[in-house]
Amino acid sequence: MDTSTEISAQGCFTIQLFRRGLFWVLCVGLVLSACDSPPQQSAQGSQSQDQGHNTDAAAEALTEFSDWLSDQSSAFGELLNSAQVETITRSFPVPELPDSQTPFQTQPDQRFEQWTLSSLTRPADGKDWVWHEQQFLRVAIAAANATDAEEASNWRFRDVMMQRYQSYDFASGSQVSDSVAERRALSLADVTDDSVYVHDVVALISHTGCASTFTLKRHSDTRADDTEVWQSRDCPERFRLGDTVFSGTRTVTDNDVRWVTHAYGQLPSLAGVVLIEQLEIVLSADEELLVNRSRRRTGSGPVTVSATLVKNGERQELGEVRWQMNYADAALFPESLVVQVPSLSQAYSIKVPAAFENGFNNDSLGVRHGVLAEQDGMAHPGLLTLYPRNSDNL
Amino acid sequence: MRLFSLFVVCLSATACTDNPADPNEAKLADVVKPADWLSPVGPVPVFEQRPGDPHTGRHALLHESYVNCGLPERVFRELQSSASGSASGLGLGTVVDVTGRDAAMDGLPYNTNRVIGRSGIPIVSSNCLSCHGTVLFGELVIGLGNEFADFTQNPSVAVERAGALLQGDAEAAEWTLFADRIAAIAPYIQTRTVGVNPAPNLTGALVAHRDVDTHAWMSEPQMLMPPTDPPPVSVPPWWRMQKKHAMFNLSEGRDDHARFMLAASMLCADSVAELDQIDEYAPDVRAYLSSIEPPAYPFEIDRELAQRGEQPYLEHCSSCHGTYGADPSYPNTVTAIDAVKTDARLLEVATGEFGREFVGWFNASWFGLRSKAAPAKGYVAPPLDGIWATAPFLHNGSVPNLATLLSEDQRPTRWRHIASDARDPDSYDTANVGWRYETVAAGAGTIPDPRVYDTSRDGYGNQGHSYGVELDDAQKSALVEYLKML
């Protein structure tokens, strides 16, 4: 494989990973454990000022990069089957899970790393919720000590890095979703001990004890007030699944729910035969309802649904749960979802955002998005993960 | 322990119940004329068992592929290495030292075996200790029934979830085989209460999916399925097999015990040839089980008080439960349900229409070539060796300790264990001989707690076995102390 093919394939692989592997990390990892971490009550609050400021530049960069990648689709399959992938994978160590670790610290020596900063925010009028999500992803395609490639040319690179920003306004049902992908070449993206940046967006990560702060800003913008600050107060629960380490926290205030997740390690699997869909409903600052639904890609076997109530960190299984989705003709995602939990004598209705149907393409396995769960006239913020109806072809 | 503990078929879990002395039992047996597929109540005849080597049997128990399906080892260890094993519902079990296990099994729970699956990759399958092993006060006791296992959850939930971690065709093939079997039986093996075991239903559900001649797995049931609300049983200790002529609560395990035990292989052994292979070492396993001695009571015993309890025991208990000491005896008798009056649901299922079909299949199958299924309309009065370790009591584990067993009006209606396992000696109530418990008011809590044993549920009743009620408190106290020594 010559250099150009390698770059193309790896870039394409990164796009796939971003949409598939990253999704896998969020879904499988969190379903299997991280979601049982107790939510954090935060008195620290946060600033939410201008999350849309990066979209113009991001859209331009994405367009160019996507066009370039679109010519490389066949390389993706070749890469997945190539021995080179194995070589690259073996060159990275299996991550360690230290006894003591600074939350969300960068792990530049690991093959794969991702941060996701998600929020459901309700402005002062208390009505119109907005969903924001900022993601950073890096995939190393050469070992940390493989300097030859970098030294040979400024166009060579060690990491493929991406960032993605999404926003969805529940009142209007409109969505802004843009992504930026950059190579590390020419210092357009990098991970250091205290920051990660891709193109024009930088996340500065600072720690005080267990508390972590993410300051999001434009790389070129020096205005102090044009930033967004994400904070977690407590040590996140960390766990390891295979060769990937996960951590995550959730912060709840009166008008804001924020999730911060971090994963690093080896590349996640893309090949699970079971799809796991999940609804996480934040009932209060110290209480959440987790509903998991599993189904096989083949459509055979049982569809299982289970629910867990997590209150002050204590988990309680809720037994039988009913999960009912209503589809429009030919739609891949439902228009609405109703989850009934008999043991709680409650039912939760979710109007599935159009972002599911609109944001899906053939490169995706599924969609994860903020939702509002209606129950007895109340709207609870939550996260919904769904796969398209015909997932067997993906 | 949840899902993984039910992969294995805890067949012996239906073995015994406490039963009283009743001089009229033999007469009852004479007058009851059971259908020809049932056994009479009363004495159980002896059947000479095939000889075996206990050492070979122990090794086979802890290594062999008698349950030859499970999760791919890589997936299992991934789940194990995460902090999520228990939280995810997989209940991956406890890792403790097990003397004599191969190094390849290092780090695996005691209730699992690492075997090679049909696709040639290593898988982790459940072994018999999922039901028949307990970490008691920090040490694994092989043969002691697990009275804290959780079968209240749908096992398919966790198995299907694990499918998200598969890599490659071989792992997918192993998982699919296993997951499909679990899905077929899952609706029949969910109990209402943590601690009781659905083994009779598990066996029945597996039999229903097996061709009687070839033992091939049939995707659709070939006979009546058991009820979806399984009759609960308390798992009996293996050391009782030294004395018992028939296996299980209703004495339905007649003739060759080793072959009957191979019902534990029915989850995935798909041919007679596979069963024949396992049957080669089954007598060794049976010999090992029969060689197990019960653990001695680890707390202080008031010997003088215990001595005073011997006479009440001999007068009220020994005719059914046998005698102990220098010249022990065990009568091997089934007490009619009309006499013992304990919860009858297990018996009703086993001797009803489903039971008739089950017995018909079993006795016409490969199993029937050596063994015979023939339940009686009564419960076996088990030997009481090591009874202190086997709480809670009665065949369905509905009575938490010996003191309340001897005082029917003191038995709690709704109760739950304080501890969630048998690790802590402080969780054991030495005065009443059983695990500490608390009573729970009806309707307490907004969400049903599966740890609550509600004796008003069908099959979960704590009535009957009203023997010794005429004893005064001092005599009962002495009798309880005496039982600690058995």
pLDDT beneath 70: ranges in chain B: 1-34, 82-93, 444-445
Contact A32 B154 (CB under 8 A): no
Q: How many whole angstroms separate alpha carbon B237 and alpha carbon B252?
A: 17
| Whole-Å CA distances, A189 to A18, A122, A230 | 16, 32, 21
Contact B447 A318 (CB under 8 A): yes
B156 → chain A, closest CA residue: A304
Test the B interface: residue of A294, A341, A345, A385 with most B CBs within 10 Å: A294
List the structure tokens of B101.
């296990």
Find out whether A66 and A60 touch, Cβ atoms under 8 Å: no
Q: How many whole angstroms separate alpha carbon B318 and alpha carbon B313?
A: 6
Alpha-carbon distance B165 to nearest alpha carbon in chain A (angstroms): 5
Residues in Cβ contact with B314 at an 8 Å cutoff, skipping those fewer than 6 apart: B323
Find out whether B174 and B162 touch, Cβ atoms under 8 Å: no
Residue A365 has pLDDT above 70, yes or no: no
Where does chain A have alpha helices with state H?
3-16, 22-24, 30-32, 55-70, 73-81, 83-90, 148-152, 354-359
Residue A101 has pLDDT above 90, yes or no: no
Nearest to B166 among A237, A272, A295 (CB): A272
At residue A191 the predicted structure's pLDDT band, cuts being 50, 70 and 90, is confident
Find out whether A242 and A266 touch, Cβ atoms under 8 Å: yes
Contact A294 B164 (CB under 8 A): yes
Residue A39 C-alpha from the chain's centroid: 18
Alpha-carbon distance A125 to nearest alpha carbon in chain B (angstroms): 34
B156 neighbourhood in chain A, CB within 8 Å: 302, 304
Contact B160 A306 (CB under 8 A): no
Q: Which of A63-72, A122-131, A240-249, A300-309 has the highest mean pLDDT?
A: A300-309
Residue B117 C-alpha from the chain's centroid: 26
For residue B422, what is the DSSP state? Answer: S
Q: How many whole angstroms separate alpha carbon B186 and alpha carbon B208?
A: 13
Angle subtended at Cα A388 by Cα A387 and Cα A391, rounded to the nearest 5 degrees = 90
Least confident of A4-13, A18-27, A378-387, B461-470: A4-13
At residue A368 the predicted structure's pLDDT band, cuts being 50, 70 and 90, is confident
Residues in Cβ contact with A365 at an 8 Å cutoff, skipping those fewer than 6 apart: A19, A20, A23, A24, A275, A387, A391, A394
Q: What is the ipTM score, two decimals? A: 0.82
The 3-state DSSP composition of chain A as helix, strand, coil percent (nearest 5) reads: 20, 40, 35
Find out whether A170 and A373 touch, Cβ atoms under 8 Å: no
B176 neighbourhood in chain A, CB within 8 Å: 273, 301
B153 neighbourhood in chain A, CB within 8 Å: 306, 317
pTM of the model: 0.83
Contact B157 A292 (CB under 8 A): yes
Instruction: Give the A-side interface with B, CB within 8 Å.
Output: 24, 27-28, 31-34, 36, 237-242, 269, 271-276, 292, 294-296, 300-302, 304-306, 309, 315-319, 343-344
Contact A273 B89 (CB under 8 A): no
Alpha-carbon distance B8 to nearest alpha carbon in chain A (angstroms): 20
Residue A228 phi/psi, 5° resolution? -130, 135
| Torsion sign (Cα): A355, A357, A359, A364 | positive
Alpha-carbon distance B150 to nearest alpha carbon in chain A (angstroms): 12
Report pLDDT for B154. Answer: 92
Report pLDDT for A151. Answer: 54
Q: How many whole angstroms separate alpha carbon A290 and alpha carbon A306?
A: 8
Going by C-alpha positions, the residue among B240, B158, B152 that lies closest to residue B197 is B152
Find out whether A369 and A353 touch, Cβ atoms under 8 Å: yes
Q: How many whole angstroms separate alpha carbon A34 and alpha carbon A383?
A: 14
Nearest to A271 among B87, B166, B446 (CB): B166
Paired strand residues for A340:
A322, A347
Report pLDDT for B469. Answer: 83
Q: How many whole angstroms separate alpha carbon B250 and alpha carbon B44?
A: 11
Going by C-alpha positions, the residue among B406, B415, B407 that lies closest to residue B387 is B406
Q: Which helix (DSSP H) or strand (DSSP E) does residue B375 occupy? A: none
B90 → chain A, closest CA residue: A32
Test the B interface: residue of A25, A28, A30, A32 with most B CBs within 10 Å: A32
More confident residue, A271 or B313: B313
Nearest to B156 among A31, A302, A343 (CB): A302
Find out whether A192 and A106 touch, Cβ atoms under 8 Å: yes
Q: How many whole angstroms separate alpha carbon A79 and alpha carbon B81?
A: 29
Q: How many whole angstroms separate alpha carbon B37 and alpha carbon B28?
A: 18
Instruction: Give the B-side interface with A, CB within 8 Å.
Output: 78-79, 81-84, 87-89, 153-154, 156-157, 160-168, 172, 175-176, 179-180, 183, 186, 446-448, 450
More confident residue, B457 or A61: B457
Angle subtended at Cα B368 by Cα B363 and Cα B374, rounded to the nearest 5 degrees = 50
Alpha-carbon distance B454 to nearest alpha carbon in chain A (angstroms): 17
More confident residue, A283 or A198: A283
Alpha-carbon distance A177 to nearest alpha carbon in chain B (angstroms): 28
Test the A interface: residue of B84, B119, B176, B219 with most A CBs within 10 Å: B84
With b meaning 16 or more CB within 10 Å and e meaning fewer, what string describes B426-456? ebbbbebbbbbbeebeeeeeeebebbbbbbe
Contact B84 A319 (CB under 8 A): no
Q: How many whole angstroms separate alpha carbon A387 and alpha carbon A366?
A: 4
Paired strand residues for A262:
A115, A247
Strand, coil or helix: what is A239? strand
> In this structure, what is the dihedral angle of CA atoms B282, B284, B290, B291, given to the nearest 10 degrees?
-160
Paired strand residues for A138:
A113, A161
Find out whether A194 and A204 touch, Cβ atoms under 8 Å: yes
Residue B455 phi/psi, 5° resolution? -75, 0
Q: How many Å is the Cα radius of gyration of chain B? A: 21
Alpha-carbon distance B125 to nearest alpha carbon in chain A (angstroms): 19
Residue A321 has pLDDT above 70, yes or no: yes
What is the amino acid identity at position B8?
V
Residue A374 phi/psi, 5° resolution? -85, 130
Contact A269 B448 (CB under 8 A): no
Q: Write B114-120 long-range contacts (CB < 8 A, 24+).
A: B114/B73, B115/B63, B115/B64, B115/B65, B115/B68, B115/B70, B116/B65, B117/B68, B117/B69, B117/B70, B117/B72, B117/B170, B117/B174, B118/B68, B118/B173, B118/B174, B118/B177, B119/B169, B119/B170, B119/B171, B119/B173, B119/B174, B120/B170
Contact B82 A273 (CB under 8 A): no
Residue A27 has pLDDT above 50, yes or no: no
B169 neighbourhood in chain A, CB within 8 Å: none
A290 → chain B, closest CA residue: B88
Contact B180 A301 (CB under 8 A): yes
Contact A31 B161 (CB under 8 A): yes
Least confident of A118-122, A165-169, A351-355: A165-169
Residues in Cβ contact with B335 at an 8 Å cutoff, skipping those fewer than 6 apart: B19, B20, B22, B25, B41, B320, B378, B379, B380, B381
Contact B165 A36 (CB under 8 A): no
Report pLDDT for B448. Answer: 83
Report pLDDT for B183. Answer: 96
List the structure tokens of B79.
């789940």
Residue A192 has pLDDT above 80, yes or no: yes
Residue A17 has pLDDT above 70, yes or no: no
| Torsion sign (Cα): B343, B345, B350, B353 | positive
Average pLDDT of chain B is: 90
Find out whether A341 and B472 touch, Cβ atoms under 8 Å: no
Report pLDDT for B78. Answer: 83
Residue A361 has pLDDT above 80, yes or no: no
Q: How many whole angstroms separate alpha carbon B177 and alpha carbon B465?
A: 44
B186 neighbourhood in chain A, CB within 8 Å: 302
Find out whether B151 and B198 touch, Cβ atoms under 8 Å: yes
Phi-psi region of A116 (alpha: psi -120 to 50; beta: other; left: phi over 0): beta
Reported as a single tens digit per residue, the pLDDT across A46-59 is: 333 333 333 343 33
Alpha-carbon distance A237 to nearest alpha carbon in chain B (angstroms): 9
